[in-house]
Amino acid sequence: MALLDIKGLRQRFGGVAALDGADVSVEQGRITGLIGPNGAGKTTLFNAVTGALRPDSGTVTFDGTDITGWRPDRLAEIGLSRTFQIARGLAQLTVIENLMLYGKRQQGETFCAAVLRGKAVRAREEELRGRAIEVARELDIIHVGDNRAIDLSGGQKKLLELGRALMAAPKLIMLDEPAAGINPTLAKKLGEHILALKVRGLTFLIVEHNMGLVAALCDHVVVLAQGKRLAEGRFAELRADRRVQDIYMGHRA
Ligand SMILES: Nc1ncnc2c1ncn2[C@@H]1O[C@H](COP(=O)(O)OP(=O)(O)OP(=O)(O)O)[C@@H](O)[C@H]1O
Ligand SMILES: [Mg+2]
């Protein structure tokens, strides 16, 4: 059984069928790539799965649970995270503070906990700080842990975005164009971190236009065109697929 199984997902914007019955499944422990031309519906699919949009129809199953239309905080609780660009307001916070903001919400906060608030909050903060330091170490951004997010390099910002997704201790991380706007050296480094996380047992669904990175990272690739799955397989197979070349690679492969 797939960890994430998307079936017949539809999403319209006025007259545009951004998703027109999309089927995508993501196997546990793999890095799955989602590629396709501009406007194919890749970001819409992410938004419809992660609670930013409510799909018109179709089902999304995660780890055996129907999660169609769930809100992002509930998704994070069952282990599905996605990355977001660092919002302007948070750019003034440090790396560690940014990570702490995205820690898993305290389970079972009760009346008793509320009574003991002072103590509980302090203990919680220490725990979150510990986890944030662990994540920053893992991603090699611990040396800039006390720097403001706004002062980070482009590559470090991408690592911080990944780190925020990791704070929720996810099973699956969805990344929309993780390498966009960073140079090839940093993209390669980001790719190495993603591979290391996969070795540790994490599963990924990645939208990416950088085909070198898709080839290097992805175990399996799904091609989306006009809101539907056109083809899927290993990247090398897809490169040789005439239909894929026609819609996506313009016969370059
Ligand atoms: N909020 C919205 N309102 C109206 N139309 C939208 C909205 N979001 C996306 N669309 C349309 O839906 C279609 C799919 O867009 P989407 O952003 O999902 O494509 P994409 O595959 O992510 O493309 P890219 O590779 O350029 O990021 C496009 O025609 C786009 O114009
Ligand atoms: Mg997009």
Q: 249 or 148, which is more confident?
A: 148
Q: Give percent of the chain above pLDDT 90.
A: 77
* Cβ–ligand 1 contact at 44 (below 6 Å): yes
Residue nearest to atom 8 of ligand 1 (CA): 44
pLDDT of residue 118: 75
Q: Based on the number of CB atoms within 10 Å of its own CB, is 249 exposed (0-12), middle (13-18) or buried (19 or more)?
A: middle
Residue nearest to atom 9 of ligand 1 (CA): 44
Distance 49 CA to ligand 2 centre (A): 14
pLDDT of residue 78: 95
Whether pLDDT at 155 is above 50 = yes
| Alpha-carbon span 28 to 202, nearest angstrom | 8
pLDDT by residue (tens digit) across 102-138? 876 544 455 565 566 677 778 888 999 999 999 999 9
pLDDT by residue (tens digit) across 38-88? 999 999 999 999 999 999 999 999 999 999 999 998 999 999 999 887 777
Residue nearest to atom 1 of ligand 1 (CA): 13
Q: Which of 81, 54, 58 is nearest to 69 (CA)?
A: 54
Q: 144 or 106, which is more confident?
A: 144
Per-residue pLDDT averaged across 208-223, rounded? 95
| Alpha-carbon span 43 to 102, nearest angstrom | 22
Of the listed ranges 21-35, 96-110, 158-172, the least confidently predicted one is: 96-110
pLDDT of residue 212: 92
Domains in the chain, please, with CATH? 1-79+170-253 (3.40.50.300), 93-169 (no CATH)
